[in-house]
Structure 1
Amino acid sequence: MATVLTADDRLLVLGGSGFIGSHLPRQLARLGIEFDTFDLYPFDPVPGAPLPRRQTIGDVRDLGALTRAMEGCTAVLNLAAAHHDFGIPPATFESVNVGGAHNVVAAMQAHGITNLCFYSSVAVYGSGHDVPPDETTPPAPENDYGRTKLAAEGVYRAWQADGEERRLLTIRPAVVFGPRNFANVYRLIRQIDRRRFVPVGPGRNRKSMAYVTNLVEAILHVWTRPPGDVRTDGFEVYNYADKPDLTSREVVSVVYRSLGRREPGLRLPLAPAVWAAKPFDLVAHLTGRNLPITSDRIRKLSDAETSFGADRIRATGFTPRISLVDGLRRMVGWYRDQGRDAAHVDHLPPEQP
């Protein structure tokens, strides 16, 4: 089987009902590629976008369901993951991300599928680097998500190494945002819109981010071409982040301007703000609620330096169409038109399939 994605392929998108999966159909249609989806939840169609040829409701921990879903497919894109930073026990990260990877490999082998793109994460690098990590930086994950994503990479690398005809394309994106995403960037926009946000610290920390349209186009740009010569330990790995990075202060300023709001001149010092958030940490711990204000969220936005190198994917000739600033403006526009009043439920994987 060919390892370059073409219009002759039929693609199975694992996790295809999620945020990134919702941005794939138009790009796949542009390339003439049919796709199926496999997800815990039903596919939520986007008006005007193509529908999957076949939808399967299933869990990647269910090998039988996964194997049946791959019938007739020639390539697999794995977006399925336990990834929320709240409410998922370590055993579920392990069973979904690592156990799921073993099942994906077994199901592909059952059908002779040799073409796989795996959506990993920059979380495999950990934090505290003197220079922005690139694909040659030794991984040092610090949480269950990063640890299990790295372990899944190992499962897929072993699969690829067992057959010369097999292609494994691994993408490690930074924080992904855009319309229909309800994670941290959405929470920031909503807090500013509701006048519940107070800037903290100098805001000079850089934040690598990826606008979802650019990420999807980057994946397809690389996958529809032969494997590149630049690899890490013999494997095809690409970080993805839109450049140049913005500082957290710049991100906040773009959101204020896009909402037509005046940015406050007052900025609280970091240390008192972190201490003031400690009661929210206790409430979150006792109630199990995912609160928008915690000391960890304050540190992540206002102090944590999360910058990652992404030169390798640019070297393939890919150029993103949408700047980070324009991407933030587009997300704010979606928020004002649809997202402000949208009812969102976090789709957490069950502890058992």
Structure 2
Amino acid sequence: MTPAGPRGLDLARLRERLDRERPPLTAGPLTGRLIEGGRSNLTYAVTDGHTRWVVRRPPLGHVLATAHDMSREHRVIRALHGTRVPVPAPVLLCEDDEVIGAPFYVMELVDGTPYRTAAQLAPLGPARTRDVVLRLVDTLADLHRVDPDEVGLGDFGRPEGFLDRQLRRWAKQLAASGSRELAGIDELQATLARRLPASPAPTVVHGDYRLDNVLVDAEDRIAAVLDWEMSTLGDPLTDLGLLVMYSSDLGLGDSPVSTTSGAPGHPSPAELVERYAARSGRDTSGIAWYTAFAWFKLAVILEGIHYRYTLGQTVGAGFEQIGALVPVFIEHGLTTLQEG
């Protein structure tokens, strides 16, 4: 008998579907556990005692299906599998809500470490840390080299007007959580809109590319790129700008926003941009706009979390620190534009 699974995952129903769609995949009853650390969609590790898989499903009680589109995640992983971009092998997509209560997909479980902080990277030492982060940049360039039409993703997004839509989207999000005055936020938004760059040829973009969204194996290689829920077709430099932002020194001793920049040997943001330019052949001279946009986007996200905290709608520790971070991100965005 298959034991009861973690909340949100009916292991017996999951095995039934796997046995029906992918026989003879499973060799016995399944056990599973929730993988902690996810920010949106739920991720479970599942095994039959011989083989291990990962199951992804929307959060419990989700309302907006478009925000947690399992078929979209599965599609991009399936398309990229077999390219130079390392992704887990796709196993099954199930869009039937009746199986576990929501659409889900199954992929192989890849061994590796998601490095989330400088403290976690530090034991690798300077040389290995540098290699890992530079390989992260190389993998991003490889992703942006994939021809969307060749892998069946030619209709995966609407690249025309991508940056303008992105900026408007996050401005709308800011307005929805505008519970307080934020010095400089209007100036940052207006300057970004005024200096909107012309995008290069569109590529598949990850949408949240950083070190803790990949797995690093025992040989310090990028074993798998994960968390594709924000992927689309668009401006590849938005991925690079976000990576540069997450690799910058926040100037804060203790921050709930993860960054690996303080680890000995970690390449500087300028080195990351230089590496990407060399690997991709793209013009990165306008990266300041994209990095400032990343600061703006994270400021909006953090302000939304702070707003929910003030309404008593957050659960857990550390949320009381978020509100104080928002002005820091705004200031970094303004400074980046001024220096760029």
The structure with the greater share of residues assigned to helix is 2
Report the TM-score when normalising by structure 1: 0.28
Name the structure, 1 or 2, with higher relative contact order (CA <8 Å, separation 6+): 1
Report the TM-score when normalising by structure 2: 0.29
